Structure 1
Amino acid sequence: MIRSLRPGRLRAALPAAVAWLVSNLVTWAVARASVAGDGSRVAYWSTAARRRWDSEHYLSIARGGYEMFRCRDRYPDFPDVTCGNVAWFPGYPMTVRAVSAAGPSYELSALLVTEAALLGMFAVLWWLLGAVLTRATGLTLAVAAVFPGGIYFHALFPLSLATLALLVCVAGLGRGSWRTAAAGGFAAVACHPVGAVAVVVLLASALFAWPGDTRPRRCAKALASAAVAGCGMLWAKWLMWQATGHWDAYETIQRSSYGQGDLRQPFAEMARAYAVPFRDWYTPKAPGGRLPWLVEHSLAAHRPEFWLNTAFVVLVAATAAVLLLRHRRLSVVEWAALVATVAVFLVPFVAGAQMSWYRNHAQMFVGLVLVARMSPWAQVPLLAACAVQYALLGAMFFSGVLV
């Protein structure tokens, strides 16, 4: 243990810590630029600035567990639909509950879990990049610090924890450890519905991972790790059943309250997501009618976010194609990152996530493994585009326009 903390190893880990710090500083600067017209400040370092609608549900699960009820039983004027918090997965709130047992409030515990997981994301990404600072890996870490949708990595949401778990799953495949891959997959699925892409990656690993094993053994490892990862969903449903008495509690609330639960036509769903009028629904009010410049120019930032995310997927896929043409192979980690990136992009549009796809897409962070293989002519424009978009989406977040 002491050996692992040698100064040389700590120096090797320093770029990941610096990237985490830069990400926080950039986000703090965006929060300050989202100053209200009355001169008040967004307290970025507080928990209040990090909370949005779904944060309340995660905190309620951490405090008291799951509940589901008929809305009109408590709110007579509410539509006759199902209410409760069973639409949100337990991985993050249960981790928050565990941390809060040491004394911090649930809100502070949620913030600690979020930021610790983000630091872990940078650390695992750095390990996947070889932990050697070059122009390519340095630019990749810079993109990571302002990754599209990454504003939610700082929010009281499970995105950083779920993304860390997905990266651990990929790292496990890279190390040839099906147990590590399965554990990461389990945590990814337990944290967030998009984490189900870990199951897809693990099933596909029979085609590109476990190179030293026979075909039957590769298939066995892929199936076993995918099965363990899928148990993350069973754990979530078991907790919901224990609290509500319904195995289908998650499906019930999704169908009743959110009109989800069925497969969607992805292109039609993309069009609906793109057309969401956040500007009309959630335009913040400012004394004198004067919004901060950044907020005023960010009220429809989800639209350039869509194009940037699409470009990111295309760049990742194109990079993989070029590597295959040049070298006739991709590494295990590169294959896993490619499959995960494409799957994360598609899942919200297949499952229906009209109001949350922009934060779900943040889990494409795993695709940064392939960004490190891009030419600087692609990396630098990508970094510039991500930095601008990060500021715009961040202003939407801190001004209360995003949910």
Structure 2
Amino acid sequence: MEPTEPTRSGRGDWRHSLLPPVVAWLLANLITWLVAKESVAGDGSRVAYWSTGGRHRWDSGHYLSIAKTGYEMFWCRERYANFPDVMCGNVAWFPGYPMSVRAVSATGLSYELSAVVVTEVSLFGMFAVLWWLLGARLTWATGLTLAIGTVFPGGIYFHAVFPIATGTLALLLCIVGVKRGSWGIAAAGGFVATSCHPVGAVAVGMLLLSALFAWPGDTRPIRFAKAGSAAALAGCGVLWAKWLMWQATGHWDAYEIIQRASYGQGGLRQPFGEMTKAYDFPFSDWYRPEGHLPWLVEHSLAAHRNQLWLNIAFVLLVLAAAAVQLIRNRRLEIEEWAALIVTVEIFWLPFFAGAEMSWYRNHAQMFVGLVLVRRMSPWVQVPMLVACAIQYAFLGAMFFAGVLV
């Protein structure tokens, strides 16, 4: 049975529109807590999951510092005598998520707790918007799709002090705007996505291409005008980030300076070479925890390699689902075109940019591809769910053990 458009009235509608996303969000947290519990010895599971510190990893500190005091850039040796003579600061991270954290902290919550609130509200929003895009009707196809979302590859970062959930929600809202023919929603979603993370730039590419598959009922010039202007406004998220950095440092190119000087990044990379480097990165040697390791952690220290294979399989299955729909029906729905484009862009972008140590959390934003997973046979969805659940446990163990950055 194919999903239908969300109903607007009628008895029991709340069960279709609200209950499944709520259940998915609760299950996602329950599963993540169980993984945390099995990843830390003794009573450490409470620290690992129920405290804000358990959701904090390397870049989290930079996002929190932006929320608290804004941007800064300085030579490392000015503050740390034994540090290499490179540039330090927090201008390598975008402001969309930290500014949301700052806004929530105005309620009196700590910055750390505000960050977790923003993350978890964004995750619930992801499930709610995805459910709407699936038609808000519970079938085997849509139910299994939501289930896969609860253990989505790399989804451990949907619970962390990172902008991954917020950026993914923004991408989904951008797709909603394109589906509804709402130029404003599409542009706003794209703006938030690009202001949260460089991966959000995929929204600009999708919006430009939307002139070819969206905005039905408009003439060709109007379609191109809507697509181009929405893409331009979405790209303003990057300009906002650079303006804030300039205000704080006096450099319009502060982001590029620190990426080049301190992280050796900048320009395009050879993607297959970067993929190989990412696959071979020795997490287990660099960040291996000391002392006795729980079974799950001990067997997860190279789980990023399985993650890459799973992500490749996911992209190929999404492409196959789209191809089958085109062959059978000679068309894709507007939201399916949008999700397909964004998913493929997200997969390749980290390897073109050289994200050797962070591609797995960038790839988590391929969550938008679940829009097409509903088209797959249960014979594909069920094995996908099992594979994702197993891998979620292993990658989650890497995260809570402090192996992932």
> 1:189 Cα deviation (Å)?
0.2
> 1:64 Cα deviation (Å)?
0.1
The equivalent position to 2:226 in structure 1, one of 191, 202, 221, is: 221
The aligned counterpart of 2:15 is 11
Q: Which letter maps to 1:247?
A: W
The equivalent position to 1:68 in structure 2, one of 64, 69, 73, is: 73
1:110 aligns with 2:112: no
1:233 aligns with 2:235: no
> Structure 1, residues 354-394: CA drift from partner, whole Å, max 9, x if none?
00000000000000000000011110110000000000000
The equivalent position to 1:90 in structure 2, one of 79, 88, 95, is: 95
1:145 aligns with 2:150: yes
2:12 counterpart SS class: helix
The equivalent position to 2:331 in structure 1, one of 322, 326, 329, is: 329
> 1:40 Cα deviation (Å)?
3.6
> Structure 1, residues 49-103: CA drift from partner, whole Å, max 9, x if none?
0000100000000000000001111112111111000000000000000000010
1:41 counterpart SS class: helix
1:83 counterpart SS class: strand
The aligned counterpart of 1:302 is 304
1:53 aligns with 2:58: yes
Output the CA distance in 1 between the equivalents of 2:389 and 2:35. Answer: 11
Contact preservation (8 Å) 1:194, 1:360: yes
The aligned counterpart of 2:159 is 154
Output the CA distance in 2 between the equivalents of 1:5 and 1:82. Answer: 58
The equivalent position to 2:38 in structure 1, one of 12, 18, 33, is: 33
Contact preservation (8 Å) 2:284, 2:403: yes
> 1:182 Cα deviation (Å)?
0.4
Output the CA distance in 2 between the equivalents of 1:58 and 1:112. Answer: 14
- Taking structure 1 as reference, are residues 179 and 292 closer, same or farther at Cα in structure 2, changes over 3 Å only? same
2:50 counterpart SS class: coil
The equivalent position to 2:170 in structure 1, one of 133, 144, 165, is: 165
Output the CA distance in 2 between the equivalents of 1:39 and 1:103. Answer: 29
Q: Which letter maps to 1:246?
A: H
1:205 counterpart SS class: helix
The aligned counterpart of 1:375 is 377
- Taking structure 1 as reference, are residues 7 and 193 closer, same or farther at Cα in structure 2, changes over 3 Å only? farther
Q: Which letter maps to 1:307?
A: W
- Within a 5 Å distance, the mapping from 1:282-321 to structure 2 comes to 282-286=287-291, 290-321=292-323
- Within a 5 Å distance, the mapping from 1:119-138 to structure 2 comes to 119-138=124-143
Unaligned runs of 5+ in 1: none
Contact preservation (8 Å) 2:97, 2:166: yes
1:209 counterpart SS class: coil
> 1:324 Cα deviation (Å)?
0.3
The aligned counterpart of 1:358 is 360
> Structure 1, residues 191-223: CA drift from partner, whole Å, max 9, x if none?
000000000110010111011111111000000
Q: Which letter maps to 2:272?
A: F
Output the CA distance in 2 between the equivalents of 1:7 and 1:86. Answer: 51
> 1:153 Cα deviation (Å)?
0.1
Contact preservation (8 Å) 1:58, 1:157: yes
Q: Which letter maps to 2:83?
A: F
Unaligned runs of 5+ in 2: 1-7
The aligned counterpart of 2:285 is 280
Query: TM-score normalised to the size of structure 1?
Result: 0.97
- Taking structure 1 as reference, are residues 7 and 238 closer, same or farther at Cα in structure 2, changes over 3 Å only? farther
> 1:7 Cα deviation (Å)?
7.2
> Structure 1, residues 121-148: CA drift from partner, whole Å, max 9, x if none?
0000000000000000000000000000
Corresponding pairs, count: 396
Contact preservation (8 Å) 2:37, 2:44: no
Output the CA distance in 2 between the equivalents of 1:93 and 1:104. Answer: 14
The aligned counterpart of 1:348 is 350
Output the CA distance in 2 between the equivalents of 1:390 and 1:126. Answer: 21
Percentage of identical aligned residues: 72
Q: Which letter maps to 1:395?
A: A
Query: TM-score normalised to the size of structure 2?
Result: 0.96
Q: Which letter maps to 1:68?
A: M
- Taking structure 1 as reference, are residues 127 and 134 closer, same or farther at Cα in structure 2, changes over 3 Å only? same
Output the CA distance in 2 between the equivalents of 1:212 and 1:376. Answer: 35
Contact preservation (8 Å) 1:42, 1:398: no
Q: Which letter maps to 1:310?
A: I
Output the CA distance in 1 between the equivalents of 2:313 and 2:344. Answer: 12
Contact preservation (8 Å) 1:173, 1:332: yes
Q: Which letter maps to 1:144?
A: G
1:69 counterpart SS class: strand
The aligned counterpart of 1:267 is 272
1:402 counterpart SS class: coil
- Taking structure 1 as reference, are residues 300 and 328 closer, same or farther at Cα in structure 2, changes over 3 Å only? same
Contact preservation (8 Å) 1:35, 1:42: no
The aligned counterpart of 2:253 is 248
